[in-house]
Amino acid sequence: MCVSFSIYHPNTNPTKPTFTHTSYQPISESFLILDFADSKKALNHFQLSIIVIIMPEEMKDVKNVKGLAPKSIRYAKKIDDDFAAGLAGFYGAVWADREGGLSKKQKHLLVFAIACSNNKTNSAIKILHKLKKFDATAEEIKDTMMIAAWTGGIQNFTDFTPAILEEMDKLGF
C-alpha cells in the first residue's frame, strides 16, 4: 500500500503542497514522519491542511517514474478506488521497461516533443528536468524540438522555444 501525505500552507500556492511525503510502509508507521512536536508554535499561528491519500500498489511504479502521484490518479482516488487502481495500472504499463522497447529517456523525449508541439510549455519544462535525470544530451533535446516544430508548426516553435532554451541554460545542457 502506498500512503501519500501532502500538507498545504494557507499563505502559499494552494495547488502546490508545502510538504509532501510518500511511504510504502504500513499506515501507522507512515504517520511517524508527521512529527509536529517542534512545530507547535507555527501551528498556533497558521491553519494547515493535511491531505492523506492511500493509493494502490500500482502507484509505486508510477511514483518512481513521475516523482509524484499524477494528479489524475489523485483525482481518480477521490472518485473510486478501482478506477484509481486502473489508471495507475495504465501509467505503469506505459512507463514500464520492456526488453527491446523504448527506454524511459526515449519515452520522455517523445512526450517532450508532444508537449512542445502542443505549446504546453510548462509541461515541456517539467519533462526537460526529467530528461536531465535520464542523461539526455542537448543535441537529443534540440532534435526533439525540431521534430516538435515539424509536427506542431513554426508558430508553436516560436512560442515554446525561448522558455525551453532558457531552462536548458539553467540546467546546464
The domain segmentation of the chain, as residue ranges, is 2-95, 104-171
Name the 3-class secondary structure at 7. strand
Q: Tens digit of pLDDT for each residue in 119-168? A: 999 999 999 999 999 999 999 999 999 999 999 999 989 999 999 999 99
Could you give the CA distance from residue 114 to residue 117 in angstroms, rounded to a whole number?
A: 5
Q: Which residue has the cell 521497461?
A: 97
Over residues 30-82, the pLDDT tens digits come to 445 554 444 444 444 444 444 444 455 555 555 555 556 678 888 888 999 88
Read off the pTM.
Answer: 0.61
Contact present, 107 and 136 (Cβ < 8 Å)? no
Cα 155 to Cα 119: distance, rounded to the nearest angstrom: 9
69-76 contacts: CB < 8 A, separation 24 or more? Answer: 69/2, 69/4, 69/22, 74/4
Pairing of strands 2-8, 49-55: antiparallel
